[in-house]
Structure 1
Amino acid sequence: MHRTKCTEMINGVLAPYFLKKLVADVGDQRFSLLLDESTDISVSKYLGVVIRYFSDTKQTVVSTFLGLVELEGGDARSIACAVVGFLVKCGLKKEKLLGIGTDNAFVMTGVNNGVHKVLKEEYGLKDLVLIRCVCHSLQLAVSHASNDTIPRSVEYLVRETYNWFSVSPKRREAYKAIYETINCGEKPLQITKVCATRWLSIEPAVSRILDQWEELRLHFSVTKSSEHCYMAEVLYSMYSDPQNILYLTFLKSVLGEVQLAIKAFEGEQVDPLKLLESLVSLIKSVSSRVLNPLAKTDVLKGPIDGDISPKPYLGYLFESKAAELHLVPEHEINVRKRCVAFTISLTNELRVRLPDNIEALQYMSVFNVEETLKHNKSPGEIGKIAKLLGYSPADIDKIVQQWRAIHLSKWNETKNTMSFWSEIMKFRDAADINPFQELAMAAVSVLSLPHSNAEVERVFSQMSVVKSKLRNRMSLQTLNSILYIRYGLKLS
């Protein structure tokens, strides 16, 4: 089959089939959208749209590709208009849009002129829920916490170590020879790159550098003499400073905790009701490093600056390394002060940046199996959630009554949240009626709310694979069609 006929087959037959199948699966249910902007290899600006909904065929909440929309302008009204127009084009009702998940860009989340605000006020979606990506929020919290606390030289050390080897095979071979000599022929792992816009990307690089610290120090010691290179001399002096290894040891421990939380939110197969627990645990765990054990401060509600322990324990790795290095007392005190300041700042940044996300995750946690099947549960919380989601008073009354009575029936799927609500969605009584229909629909709607923008990032990764340098003239229609087929086959 030649190129023209193959393209027509993709655009005219296969892609419309998978899109029609997706829209039919969404049906009349409420859904959420994940939105983000990106540019392709031809510098065309696109809005990536991912839909998140409860699939009748899969009987679970799924996130899948809905389309790429070319943007004529980058302002909020242009983006909002593009979103609504695209929903109409796909055959989806904009009134069924429950929430949008975005990064923390001002054009998306602005209080007065953001996309969320425009959709609510100018397109009649007054109950639209905005979920800021938790992963982006964690990244920003770490970045801001490090600005005035961790010395810039630490990031410089990590970045320039990567740059030293990235452009020179000769340097890599010289270091490889030193490393293999010291480690009985074992090959060194490559130092990873630090992303300029993601401060948290420093964590994998920090781990690699700490594992190879002595080998790297020896390499720069030899190189500064053999190459007469000023950069090698600077890096050698930094690797010879024990304060730097202490800073990196501290960062490895703290940033490792944050990375685990991010991976939980980025996962494709995660229980959304356990995400709130992960987020709260992260904030409490970070604060516990410096918080006075006798303090009664609620770290989720107020700053912790006034309840710091006089002798904070900064983790086993840090304390054992500090004891091993025998730093000059003044230097160790300075490092400890900066690490404590970073921990305090990070805790406060997490608290300030995540209140909306915590509230959204609290909505989800109400629908976990244990909470739903309690005998003495309060109906007030479920009524409040239903009202925030835009249900009418009559529907709220039905949802509350069904919430009160649901524990009176016997259910089989009580271990997994989605399986539990899927069973309730399919339940029929003697009259072939589902007495919990409204409650089940509300539950799967809330579970369809996004918690991160990771799926949109995956779409952009696929976009870069499909529209590459060799295929830089590919049209938007063909690009969309290929992605429809890829994601459609994945869902099948």
Structure 2
Amino acid sequence: MDFERKKRPVTPVSSENSESEDEKEDSRRKKKYRKQKFSDDWLQLPEFRGWLEKIASDQYMCKCKACNSKIVCGKSELLKHSRGKKHMEKVTSIQSNTSLTSYFIKKQNENEVKKVQNFEVRLSTFFAEHNVALQVVDHLVPLLKEIVPDSKIVQQAALGRKKCTGVIKNVIAVAIRNDLINVLKTTDFSVMVDESTDIGLQKTMCLLTRYVHPSNGFVKTELLDLIKLDAKDCTAENLYIHFRQVLTEADIPLKNIIGLASDGASVMLGANNSFASRLISEVPNVTVIRCICHTSAIIANKACVNLPRAPEELLRQISTYLSNSSKRCAQLEEIQEYFNKEKKKILKVASTRWLSLHQCINRILENWDVLISFFRVAQVDDKLKSAELILMDLENVCNKAYLLFLKYVLNYFNTLNALFQSKKPLVVELYNASKKLFLTLGQNFLKPEKLHPNVNVNDPSNYLNISDIFLGADCNNLLNTLPNTESHKIRLDCLNFYKTACSEIQKRLPIHENNFFENLRFLNPNIALDTNNNNRCINFTALCEKYEVDLNETVLEWRGMPFQFDNLEREIYLKKSLEEFWWDISKIKNFEDKLVFPNLSLLYKKCLTLPHSNADAERIFSDVTDIKTKKRNKLSHEVLNSICTIRSFLKSKELNCTTYQFDFNKISINSNILYDHKN
């Protein structure tokens, strides 16, 4: 079925109706447009940054700071404005001119950054000085931020374990080492070298330098490097190659070395094929000094060989018996209290400690009756053979006599040893102290007329009668109560001790007249300003030849020195320390503005640089033991070296983490320096 579509009739549209329709269409379009508010994200866009500004009173409008005009908010509108020729010219002119306000803001930001860096450096110095694990900083800094929320410096600090390690290794230690290298390049110095004695796969060689500081005249000893060695090759050749490499890389002239100190090991100071022989071949005038602390300990050990081993074994047995049981220690304290003795532990003899034997002997003798009573009880209660043997040795009066003798004689060695472990410059006292030790021991068994450093100590005709040999007041009193046979044997053993000790002193210590160290007495202020020429008799020939100083001018300056000052000035100078005295003397000028004592000043600086012992090197190895413990065994050698460098520097300058001020002008702190990706 077909359907026809019906057409609707078309009604004509009048002009009035068409106009009304257009107006309605325009109104519909206007209603669709929505005003856009200002977005803070626009300020961060690179095309708007620097010239776009928000208007607080109108959120639909923004401002161009360059053109000083308002713009309708909208990203497309802003982009159109940014591409305008007038706008681009304005922005270019503003960027070329820095405002005064921005200058002060920049300065303020730089000061804040330096304050934050100073906080991080000082805190890292604290970790290095006090041997605190570096992982602690991961909790310490956040904790400080919680405790001190109102401090901008603390809040801005970003110090973690890795950054703290970088500050210690690549900033503080590098700055300290650079300062030291700059001084050594132009200053005479001595080196102290020692090798570690541990049984690890890697050994270390400590390289210390000693010099007179050119700005204040004080003698300083600082660590230059802690050199890593292969335990399979610690020959003198390899040690010297590593030593030479450190100086070459630092561009330090080898000719500036005037002294070498080390222990008595043959690999270090042997006559042939040693570290010292190689250095002497390149620097012939270098002065080689054996550590007097090591030397005195060796002398005492060699002399003790002449005594029976029983007394020393007794010390070890007692300490071992007590140290293995807290119950026995408590019982010993009860007996000490019963005898009205001070409660003290029995010390253990340490073979690596120079002064330990004398202290252990003193402690045993103080508790001699207490120990006898203790082991009498222990023999019954413990029923151990060791307690019975110890009691037998304690009741043997001969053992007590030997210990009383050692208490008397070892005191002299320990006094010398303790004196030269000092950090003060004591090379001037080396001759007098060594000679005093020889004469003190010699007077106990030599005839008075034979008592001089060159005496033949092995000639029996030079000895006193065996009964007149002095072994200490306590020992002599005890020997008077013993039978003659036992007393005679003990005296003979002690005489052999004296003979060996004095013979070794003659070979190892500078006690003979007209030797190099005797002439160093001129450094003593009391001798330098003494008007009595007999006391001021110094032979400068060897010193001047060795250090290339004019001999005639030096002697003239020396002879005229006491008469440059009146009594009041002399008293003032004598109150000064050795370093202050010679520093002030070196600055004295005449009316022509010329130095009065130029040659003596040059000579004193070279002589004071000489080390008197190697104790500072031993202190470095003690630091290494304290720093690299079992819990910190993964600490790298570079970090260990840096921590030791910082601690050595602080000790030499008498500073600590609270007084140390880092100079930011010497080294800049940035990520490239802090984080060394090479390692």
TM-score by length of 1: 0.91
What per-residue deviation string (whole Å, max 9, x for no partner) do you get for residues 245-277 of structure 1? 111001100001110111111112364423432
Cα drift, residue 404 of structure 1: 4.1
Give the conservation status (yes or no) of the 8 Å contact 1:101–1:131: yes
Matches within 5 A, 1:108-257: 108-121=268-281, 124-147=282-305, 149-183=306-340, 187-197=342-352, 201-257=356-412
2:525 alignment counterpart: 369
Give the conservation status (yes or no) of the 8 Å contact 2:358–2:410: yes
What per-residue deviation string (whole Å, max 9, x for no partner) do you get for residues 309-358 of structure 1? 112232212122334xx222211121121112211221112112214899
2:169 alignment counterpart: 11
Cα drift, residue 118 of structure 1: 0.9
Letter in 2 for 1:9: V
Give the conservation status (yes or no) of the 8 Å contact 2:435–2:511: no
Give the conservation status (yes or no) of the 8 Å contact 1:32–1:99: yes
Aligned residues: 481
Q: Measure, in 1, the Cα distance between the counterparts of 2:472 and 2:330.
A: 36
2:81 alignment counterpart: none
- Closer/same/farther in 2, CA of residues 300 and 62 from structure 1, 3 Å limit: farther
Cα drift, residue 141 of structure 1: 0.9
Q: Measure, in 1, the Cα distance between the counterparts of 2:538 and 2:339.
A: 66
Letter in 1 for 2:220: V
Give the conservation status (yes or no) of the 8 Å contact 2:212–2:218: yes
What per-residue deviation string (whole Å, max 9, x for no partner) do you get for residues 170-207 of structure 1? 22122222222222xx5521222212356763111000
Q: 1:463 aligned to 607, 611, 624, which one? A: 624
Q: Measure, in 1, the Cα distance between the counterparts of 2:171 and 2:263.
A: 34
Between Structure 1 and Structure 2, which shows a larger proportion of helix residues? 1
1:318 alignment counterpart: 475
Give the conservation status (yes or no) of the 8 Å contact 1:41–1:472: no
Give the conservation status (yes or no) of the 8 Å contact 1:273–1:365: yes
Counterpart of 1:32 in 2: which secondary structure? strand
2:485 alignment counterpart: 330
Q: Measure, in 1, the Cα distance between the counterparts of 2:511 and 2:202.
A: 33
2:249 alignment counterpart: 89
2:544 alignment counterpart: 386
Cα drift, residue 465 of structure 1: 1.6
Q: Measure, in 1, the Cα distance between the counterparts of 2:339 and 2:527.
A: 57
Q: Measure, in 1, the Cα distance between the counterparts of 2:185 and 2:625.
A: 31
Letter in 1 for 2:642: S
Matches within 5 A, 1:373-452: 373=529, 376=533, 381-389=539-547, 391=548, 395-410=550-565, 412-415=572-575, 416-452=577-613
Residue 79 in structure 1 maps to residue 239 in structure 2: yes
1:67 alignment counterpart: 225
Matches within 5 A, 1:265-280: 265-269=420-424, 271-280=426-435
- Closer/same/farther in 2, CA of residues 47 and 261 from structure 1, 3 Å limit: same
Cα drift, residue 129 of structure 1: 0.9
- Closer/same/farther in 2, CA of residues 81 and 428 from structure 1, 3 Å limit: farther
- Closer/same/farther in 2, CA of residues 360 and 60 from structure 1, 3 Å limit: farther
Q: Measure, in 2, the Cα distance between the counterparts of 1:20 and 1:427.
A: 31
Letter in 2 for 1:157: L
Give the conservation status (yes or no) of the 8 Å contact 1:134–1:357: no
Q: Measure, in 2, the Cα distance between the counterparts of 1:145 and 1:379.
A: 35
Mark the runs of 5 or more structure 2 residues left unpaired by the alignment: 1-158, 656-679
Mark the runs of 5 or more structure 1 residues left unpaired by the alignment: none
Cα drift, residue 298 of structure 1: 1.9
Q: Which of 375-384 and 297-306 deviates more?
A: 375-384
Cα drift, residue 19 of structure 1: 1.5
Give the conservation status (yes or no) of the 8 Å contact 1:142–1:200: no
Q: Which of 124-133 and 275-284 deviates more?
A: 275-284
- Closer/same/farther in 2, CA of residues 451 and 302 from structure 1, 3 Å limit: farther
What per-residue deviation string (whole Å, max 9, x for no partner) do you get for residues 23-48 of structure 1? 34445221111111115696421111
Q: Measure, in 2, the Cα distance between the counterparts of 1:158 and 1:431.
A: 69
Q: Measure, in 1, the Cα distance between the counterparts of 2:388 and 2:308.
A: 19
Q: Which of 334-343 and 93-102 deviates more?
A: 334-343
Give the percent of matched residue pairs that are identical in Structure 1 and Structure 2.
28
Matches within 5 A, 1:279-298: 279-293=434-448, 295-298=449-452
What per-residue deviation string (whole Å, max 9, x for no partner) do you get for residues 32-77 of structure 1? 1111111569642111111111123442212222221112431111
Q: Measure, in 2, the Cα distance between the counterparts of 1:16 and 1:403.
A: 42
Residue 345 in structure 1 maps to residue 506 in structure 2: no
Letter in 1 for 2:450: K
1:28 alignment counterpart: 186
Q: Measure, in 2, the Cα distance between the counterparts of 1:405 and 1:270.
A: 25
Q: Measure, in 1, the Cα distance between the counterparts of 2:204 and 2:402.
A: 40
Q: Which of 349-358 and 245-254 deviates more?
A: 349-358
Counterpart of 1:266 in 2: which secondary structure? coil
Cα drift, residue 209 of structure 1: 0.2
What per-residue deviation string (whole Å, max 9, x for no partner) do you get for residues 109-148 of structure 1? 1111111111112xx211111000111111111111121x
Matches within 5 A, 1:49-64: 49-64=207-222
Letter in 2 for 1:318: C
Give the conservation status (yes or no) of the 8 Å contact 1:139–1:198: no
Residue 263 in structure 1 maps to residue 418 in structure 2: yes
Letter in 2 for 1:107: V
Larger RCO: Structure 1 or Structure 2 (Cα < 8 Å, ≥ 6 residues apart)?
1
Letter in 1 for 2:206: G
Letter in 2 for 1:5: K
Give the conservation status (yes or no) of the 8 Å contact 1:46–1:68: yes
Give the conservation status (yes or no) of the 8 Å contact 1:10–1:481: yes
Letter in 2 for 1:254: V
Q: Measure, in 2, the Cα distance between the counterparts of 1:157 and 1:191.
A: 12
Give the conservation status (yes or no) of the 8 Å contact 2:516–2:542: no
Letter in 2 for 1:13: V
Cα drift, residue 82 of structure 1: 1.6
2:63 alignment counterpart: none
Q: Measure, in 1, the Cα distance between the counterparts of 2:185 and 2:318.
A: 53
Give the conservation status (yes or no) of the 8 Å contact 2:519–2:538: no
C-alpha RMSD of the superposition = 2.4
Q: Measure, in 2, the Cα distance between the counterparts of 1:383 and 1:273.
A: 17
TM-score by length of 2: 0.67
- Closer/same/farther in 2, CA of residues 288 and 195 from structure 1, 3 Å limit: same
Q: Measure, in 2, the Cα distance between the counterparts of 1:8 and 1:266.
A: 34
